Amino acid sequence: MKSVAVLKKPKMITGVNSFECSFDAKSINESFARLLVSAFVSQLDPTVADMTDLKTAVSEAVTNCIVHAYRDREKYKNARVYLSGVYFPDGTVSITVKDKGCGIDDIKQAMEPLYTTSPSDERSGMGFTVIAGLSDKLKVSSDVGKGTTVTIEKKVFGG
Ligand SMILES: Nc1ncnc2c1ncn2[C@@H]1O[C@H](COP(=O)(O)OP(=O)(O)O)[C@@H](O)[C@H]1O
Ligand SMILES: [Mg+2]
């Protein structure tokens, strides 16, 4: 008896999809955030390069929440990172990383290459530069004393 099986790759994306979560601002959760983003974005069947870019960009933003936003651990007892994402039928992925920490008073300066407020911690000051280079769009908004929101956008298919 002859049998044939044909595996057809299912068309993954049917519309808008989104997720939202929060986790403790601990460095152990940097890899957790990367995993969450890859699980979400893999639904779009991205290239390995696009997936890596997004994970790296998100990771930099999450690290910033942990090391900068909640630097004063005494003050921020319940330090949490808020991660959310959405993708659209045109292949655009938007990931938002938010904290309720100290905020940034001069965003323009903070985004300059090599600028860091923690040189002693061996920070390179290249986080925002890396994120900008790996994404199509980077938006940073911040309120001193209230927190910072970073939105990273990247198109993973459709040009
Ligand atoms: N979420 C944040 N909350 C408060 N300050 C931040 C945050 N993200 C970035 N910053 C500020 O912007 C600076 C530059 O960030 P970045 O480019 O990632 O470099 P680095 O993390 O190496 O210092 C940081 O040194 C810090 O002062
Ligand atoms: Mg950084």
pLDDT in tens, 41-98: 999 999 999 999 999 999 999 999 999 999 999 999 999 999 999 999 999 999 999 9
Rounded Cα–Cα distance for residues 16 and 43 (Å) = 12
Residue 21 within a domain: yes
Which pLDDT does position 14 carry in this prediction? Answer: 64
Strands 147-155 and 92-99 come out as antiparallel
Residue 155 has pLDDT above 70, yes or no: yes
How much is the pLDDT for 10? 56
Mutational pocket test of ligand 1: of 64, 67, 82, the residue with most ligand atoms within 8 Å of the beta carbon: 64
In the residue annotation, 64 being an active-site residue is answered as: yes
**CA–CA separation, 81 and 69 (whole Å):** 10
Q: Which residue has the higher pLDDT, 152 or 123?
A: 152
Task: Examine residue 135 and state whether it is found in any structural domain, yes or no.
Answer: yes
CATH of the domain at 83: 3.30.565.10
pLDDT at 12: 56
* The model's pTM: 0.92
Q: Which ligand is nearest to the CA of 66?
A: 1
Domain assignment present for 7: no
d(CA 113, CA 129): 6
8 domain-assigned? no
Percentage of the chain surpassing pLDDT 90? 84
In a domain, 132, yes or no: yes
pLDDT digits (tens, 9 = 90+) for 98-140: 999 999 999 999 999 999 998 777 789 999 999 999 999 999 9
For residue 48, is it within any domain?
Answer: yes
Taking a 5 Å cut-off on Cβ, the residues next to ion ligand 2 are 64, 127
Q: 44: domain range? A: 17-155
Question: Taking a C-beta distance cutoff of 8 angstroms, is the pair 141, 98 a contact?
Answer: no
The residue annotated as part of the active site, out of 64, 112, 122, 153, is: 64
Contact, 21 vs 83, CB < 8 A?
Answer: yes
Structural domain includes residue 113: yes
Residue 41 resides in a domain? yes
Q: How many domains does the chain have?
A: 1
